[in-house]
C-alpha cells in the first residue's frame, strides 16, 4: 500500500508549481506491527508495545534488531528511514 500526500498547503509560496508527491514508507501488516520500506526495500518494522513504538531494523521481522524506542509512531518510522539512508 502506497499513500501519497501533497506537501503544498493553502497559502504556501509555491503557487503555480505542481505539488510534490511523497511516498509514505509504512504498511500495516498486523494489528500492532508495521513494515517500513525505502525505495522499495524493507528497512525495518515498527512494533506497538503499549504506549511505546519500537523501531526494529532489518529486512526480515524474525531477524530484526531493536534500534530504538519512541513515544510517537512517526518518530519510529523516521528513525528507520534515516538509518537506511546512512547505511
Distance CA 74, CA 26 (A): 10
What is the DSSP code (8-state) at residue 18? P
Q: What pLDDT is attached to residue 13?
A: 53
Q: What are the tens digits of pLDDT across the range 13-22?
A: 555 555 555 6
Q: What pLDDT is attached to residue 11?
A: 47
In sequence order, what are the residues at sequence separation of 6 or more whose Cβ sits closer than 8 angstroms to the Cβ of residue 31? none
Report residue 78's pLDDT band, with 50, 70 and 90 as the boundaries: very high
Q: What pLDDT is attached to residue 19?
A: 56
pTM of this structure: 0.73
Determine the average pLDDT of the residues in 46-69.
Answer: 96
Nearest to 45 by CA among 76, 23, 24: 76
Q: What pLDDT is attached to residue 17?
A: 58
Amino acid at each position: 500500500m502506497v499513500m501519497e500526500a501533497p506537501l503544498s498547503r493553502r497559502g504556501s509560496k509555491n503557487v503555480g508549481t505542481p505539488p510534490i508527491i511523497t511516498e509514505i514508507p509504512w504498511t500495516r501488516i498486523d494489528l500492532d506491527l508495521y513494515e517500513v520500506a525505502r525505495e522499495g526495500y524493507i528497512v525495518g518494522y515498527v512494533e506497538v508495545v503499549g504506549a511505546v513504538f519500537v523501531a526494529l531494523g532489518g529486512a526480515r521481522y524474525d531477524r530484526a534488531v531493536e534500534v530504538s524506542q519512541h513515544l510517537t509512531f512517526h518518530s519510529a518510522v523516521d528513525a528507520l528511514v534515516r538509518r537506511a539512508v546512512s547505511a
